Amino acid sequence: MKKEKTIQIDTAIIDGNQRIRLFFSYDQEIIDLVKSLPGARWQPAMKCWHIAMAMGPAEKLNYRFQGKLAFIPKELPSIVGSGDKQKTDDCLIKVPDEFIKTMKLKDYSIRTLKTYTSMLRLFMNFYKTRTLDDLTDEDIREYLLYLVDTKKVSQSYQNQAINAIKFYYEQILGRPTHTYYLQRPKREKKLPSVMSEEEVVRLLKQINNLKHKAALSLIYSAGLRVDELVNLKIPDIDSSRFQIRVNQAKGKKDRVTLLSSNILKLLREYVKEYKPKEWLFEGQDGGQYSAGSIQAIFRKAKKAAGIQKKATVHTLRHSFATHLLERGTDLRYIQELLGHQSSRTTEIYTHVTEKGFKKIISPFDNLDL
């Protein structure tokens, strides 16, 4: 682009998280640049792209896309967000520098850093006329009750908010834990959504683009998380040992997982055509492929395949584990392939496998009616 193109921004609560919305007239060049931002997603209902709060504010975005895009706060009296009315400059509230520095010194992951920063910023917005240091136990509980009763956020979201707030008061201000201890919400026990092998086949057959097909096929064949896929580099594919090296995955753990012989053929075909330079999967202008793009590919293929059940890209990872279990693979090996620290995490797949389940006969079938 020869001239900077303008994008207007504001904030909104989307899927329980405060996000930065991007407004601009349709322009494929702008879309490609926006998609290069980690976690960039399209919101059909609002007809806009949106990104994580940690990607902003406008000054940070302007610096990143200097000479290409110009980000300007949208002049609106309020933002849309589950009935909330907040000023557009709320997203510009700055969390204490020491908060971010301490997380970095403790080697917290980028994802955790972004989440905690966003959560603390929302907490500060709630008490925007007061300082963090002056807030009490009761103030914190009042905010959490607001999240539960008014915002109706998930238990996972509640836990993230508690962790971020506790981190600030414990690690930064040095307050003893018992002075602001908060009752943790009990985690819901949900079974993972799993696709059958037939559904996986139907989904992958809907994809004609070689890069897109290789990406989703690799996630299923190796049980990868989306972030793990986009972080793969070409040397991570060990074709001689039929292994994939996953570096610094969740919990900052390295591991190896399966490299299917059929996937290796598909990857060789893909590399020959697309010629990636550094990352295994790269965007149109080079650089790391975005997780948002992978998710969009999955949604489109799922719709085309006529799959009605609730499923996301992560469902392919769940399906990988479940199908291995159904084919007799030892649970301990599946735990290693997935990178689970505890076997209890992996054992959840025993509740969704069809192995043995179909052999159980309902007592109703034995009734002589």
Task: Tell me the pLDDT band of 38, cut-offs 50, 70 and 90.
Answer: confident
- What one-letter code names the amino acid at 328? G
Q: What is the mean pLDDT of residues 356-363?
A: 56
Specify which of 56-60, 72-76, 335-339 reaches the highest per-range mean pLDDT. Answer: 335-339
Average pLDDT, rounded, for the chain? 81
- Give the active site residues: 225, 250, 314, 317, 340, 349
Q: What is the mean pLDDT of residues 41-50?
A: 85
**Whole-number percent of the chain with pLDDT over 70:** 83
Phi, psi of 244 (to 5 degrees): -120, 130
3 state SS of 246: strand
**Paired strand residues for 52:** 19
Decide if 54 contacts 113 (C-beta within 8 A).
Answer: yes
Cα 66 to Cα 5, 6, 22, 70, 282, distances in angstroms: 10, 11, 17, 7, 21
Q: What is the mean pLDDT of residues 228-236?
A: 92
Tokens of 237: 């594919």
pTM assigned to the model: 0.57
Poorest-pLDDT segment among 86-90, 159-163, 259-263? 86-90
- What one-letter code names the amino acid at 249? A
Say whether pLDDT at 252 is over 60. Answer: yes
Say whether pLDDT at 153 is over 70. Answer: yes
State residue 358's pLDDT score: 58
Poorest-pLDDT segment among 17-26, 276-285, 359-368? 359-368
pLDDT in tens, 79-99: 333 334 344 444 457 889 899
State residue 178's pLDDT score: 54
